[in-house]
């Protein structure tokens, strides 16, 4: 045992053996220094080539040569072994810090596409590459299947996909019977014997000469896909780089598995909600219809409906059920189906329709409330009779006016022992559009309700004349104007529904 008179007390032979027989991160965890090392002023071995969490990797992607070993110190030279140990410890701590920063950035991603791009960027920095691609193809076959590139355009990915699957690195990884496995390393693709001619052609066309591929798989998550990084010149990552990127991809796989489960749940919720809404809007003479819907990540209870009624009439409805998630979606489906039945029986009296709906809600779901608006339209006469329960008033958009319909103030369904409010009758002019919407459109703005209503009115008044004949274009304009900068597509607990009816 060498007696080192510093705060670092380590068995030198054991530490060097640990470096050669285990990963740097495992070794640093087992042989961490007892106290804080003294100032490390000696020259350090280079960190892993290509690692820089704040600076993009260099364009030249040839893997650097391994650092030359330090010359052996002369016997009895004081402090030389201690300085060597401190240098190696400093390098390991630097690697751990880099991994921590990269995994922290990955943990902040909340959607699959962002996470896949972050995996590519981090992996490229760790192995010293400039380009790459991730192929997401879960082994359970439930999808989603997608390919994301780094430094590769969609056309470049298309060229790579023309290579026979068995000749590509990611194809061999994904076709393995086991979930995990060794990386696929091709240090000099163009000089390899037996390289598929199409692969050689694509590599030359895109300008890459080497590749390093890893499976995105763990025992717990199974196989999710494969990641491939491409070098511009013949190269391959050194052992230290392979170890670090292996640690990173194992963590990344677990994170991607969580996002995959969340995305599948959201997809199921959206599919169920869409199936409970009208698959298409009816065609009724004298009126054009368009609908737009935005739902949050958990799915909500906002809905719309348009159904043809006897004698050429048309029923229009929008509403919102309290809560979110699967229970709200199911309640929305039951409420909409009940309203359709009441509308067929007594649609010409919107107050009676909502009264029956309120009674049903109070008896069957006493713990839930809902807002609703039902309009009985006679397109041939351009006559509308409507009633609302706690719902925002419709908006009439035309060449000469943009105004809210004056409706009576009423509580939502399920809030009172007996609901009833007077109906309102009005007549839109030829070419005017009546816009029905849910409160989510106003709540997503983040403004107080008076400002949100003013923003909605201004958006409707600013509809360009060139699109006033298209109710779908009017709905899109209002949606994107009231909710700019992607607020209409961002994840939110508030659903948004717009139903536009243009009268001829």
CA distances from 282 to 85, 289, 316 (A): 78, 8, 11
Helix (H, G, I), strand (E, B) or coil at 424: strand
Q: How far apart are CA 343 and CA 339, in angstroms?
A: 6
- Polymer length in residues for the chain: 504
- For the entire predicted model, the pTM comes to 0.63
Tokens 């709905």, residue located: 475
Q: How far apart are CA 394 and CA 403, in angstroms?
A: 9
Is the pLDDT at 316 greater than 90? The verdict is yes
Residue 410: phi and psi, rounded to 5, are -145, 150
Assign 197 a pLDDT band (cuts: 50, 70, 90). Answer: very high
Residue 147: phi and psi, rounded to 5, are -130, 130
Mean predicted confidence (pLDDT) in 318-347: 88
* Residue range 93-120, pLDDT digits in tens: 888 888 999 999 999 998 899 999 999 9
Q: How far apart are CA 378 and CA 54, in angstroms?
A: 64
Q: How far, rounded to the nearest angstrom, does the alpha carbon of residue 87 sit from its chain's CA centroid?
A: 42
* Residue range 61-87, pLDDT digits in tens: 444 444 445 455 444 444 567 788 887
Q: 96: closest CA among 126, 75, 62?
A: 126
Which position has the higher pLDDT, 177 or 222? Answer: 222
Residues 6 or more apart in contact with residue 354 via CB below 8 angstroms: 372, 374, 387, 388, 389, 413, 419, 421
pLDDT at site 271:
79
284 contacts 272 by C-beta, under 8 angstroms: no
pLDDT at site 299:
67
pLDDT at site 92:
82
pLDDT at site 348:
92
Q: How many other CB atoms sit within 10 Å of the CB of residue 308?
A: 12
Is the pLDDT at 328 greater than 80? The verdict is yes
Dihedral of the alpha carbons of 363, 365, 366, 367, in degrees to the nearest 10? 180
pLDDT at site 490:
65
Lowest mean pLDDT among 44-48, 269-273, 383-387: 44-48
pLDDT at site 200:
92
Which position has the higher pLDDT, 45 or 235? Answer: 235
Percentage of the chain exceeding pLDDT 90: 55
Fold for the domain defined by 277-503: Phosphatase 2c; domain 1 (3.60.40)
pLDDT at site 179:
62
Which class is 113-269 in CATH?
Answer: alpha beta
Assign 491 a pLDDT band (cuts: 50, 70, 90). Answer: low
Q: How far apart are CA 475 and CA 253, in angstroms?
A: 41
* Residue range 276-305, pLDDT digits in tens: 888 889 999 999 999 999 886 666 789 999
493 contacts 446 by C-beta, under 8 angstroms: no
Residue 493: phi and psi, rounded to 5, are -75, -10
- Give the DSSP H or E segment for 374: strand 370-378
Assign 365 a pLDDT band (cuts: 50, 70, 90). Answer: confident
Count Cα atoms within 13 angstroms, Cβ side, for 427. 6
Mean predicted confidence (pLDDT) in 23-34: 41
Average pLDDT, the chain: 82
Mean predicted confidence (pLDDT) in 463-468: 94
* Domain boundaries, given as residue ranges, for the chain: 1-53+81-108, 113-269, 277-503
List, as one string, the DSSP characters of 487-498: TTTS--S--EEE
Is the pLDDT at 185 greater than 90? The verdict is yes
* Residue range 450-460, pLDDT digits in tens: 999 999 999 99
Is the pLDDT at 35 greater than 60? The verdict is no
Measured N-to-C along each axis, helices 112-127 and 80-107 cross at an angle, to the nearest 10 degrees, of 160
335 contacts 321 by C-beta, under 8 angstroms: yes
Is the pLDDT at 191 greater than 80? The verdict is yes
Is the pLDDT at 269 greater than 90? The verdict is no
């Amino acid at each position: 045992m060498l007696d080192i008179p510093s705060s670092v007390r380590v068995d030198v032979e054991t530490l060097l053996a640990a470096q050669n027989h285990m990963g740097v991160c495992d070794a640093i965890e087992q042989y961490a220094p007892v106290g804080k090392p003294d100032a490390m002023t000696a020259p350090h071995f280079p960190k892993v080539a290509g690692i820089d969490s704040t600076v993009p990797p260099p364009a030249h992607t040839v893997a650097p040569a391994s650092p030359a070993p330090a010359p052996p110190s002369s016997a009895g030279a004081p402090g030389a072994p201690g300085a060597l140990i401190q240098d190696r410890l400093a390098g390991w701590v630097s690697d751990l810090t880099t991994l921590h920063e990269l995994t922290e950035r990955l943990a902040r991603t909340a959607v699959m596409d962002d996470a896949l791009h972050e995996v590519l960027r981090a992996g490229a920095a760790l192995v010293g590459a400039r380009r790459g691609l991730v192929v997401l193809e879960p082994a359970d076959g439930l999808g989603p299947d997608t390919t994301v590139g780094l430094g590769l355009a969609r056309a470049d990915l298309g060229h790579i996909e023309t290579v026979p699957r068995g000749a590509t690195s990611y194809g061999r990884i994904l076709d393995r019977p086991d979930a995990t496995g060794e990386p696929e390393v091709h240090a000099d693709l163009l000089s390899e014997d037996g390289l598929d001619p199409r692969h050689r052609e694509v590599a030359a066309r895109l300008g890459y000469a080497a590749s390093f591929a890893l499976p995105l798989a763990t025992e717990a998550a199974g196989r999710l896909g494969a990641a491939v990084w491409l070098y511009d010149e013949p190269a391959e990552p050194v052992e230290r780089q392979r170890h670090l990127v292996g640690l990173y991809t194992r963590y990344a796989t677990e994170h991607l598995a969580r996002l995959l489960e969340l995305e599948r749940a959201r997809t199921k919720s959206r599919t169920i909600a869409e199936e409970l809404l009208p698959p298409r809007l009816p065609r009724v003479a004298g009126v054009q219809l368009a609908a737009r819907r935005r739902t949050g990540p958990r799915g909500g209870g906002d809905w719309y409906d348009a159904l043809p009624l006897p004698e050429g009439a048309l029923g229009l409805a929008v509403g919102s059920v309290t809560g979110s998630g699967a229970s709200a979606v199911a309640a929305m489906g039951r409420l909409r189906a009940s309203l359709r039945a009441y509308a067929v029986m007594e649609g010409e009296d919107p107050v009676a329709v909502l009264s029956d709906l309120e009674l049903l809600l109070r008896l069957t779901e006493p713990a839930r409330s809902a807002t609703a608006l039902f309009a009985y339209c006679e397109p041939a006469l351009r006559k509308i009779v409507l009633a609302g329960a706690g719902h925002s008033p419709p908006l009439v958009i035309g060449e000469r006016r943009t105004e809210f319909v004056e409706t009576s103030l009423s509580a939502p369904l399920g809030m009172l022992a007996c609901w009833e409010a007077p109906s309102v009758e009005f007549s839109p002019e030829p070419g005017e559009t009546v816009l029905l919407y849910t409160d989510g459109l106003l709540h997503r703005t983040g403004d107080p309700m008076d400002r949100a209503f003013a923003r909605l009115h201004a958006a409707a008044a600013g509809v360009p004349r060139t699109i006033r004949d298209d109710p779908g274009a009017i709905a899109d304009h209002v949606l994107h104007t009231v909710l700019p900068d992607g607020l209409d597509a961002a994840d939110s607990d508030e659903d948004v529904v717009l139903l536009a009816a243009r009268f001829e």
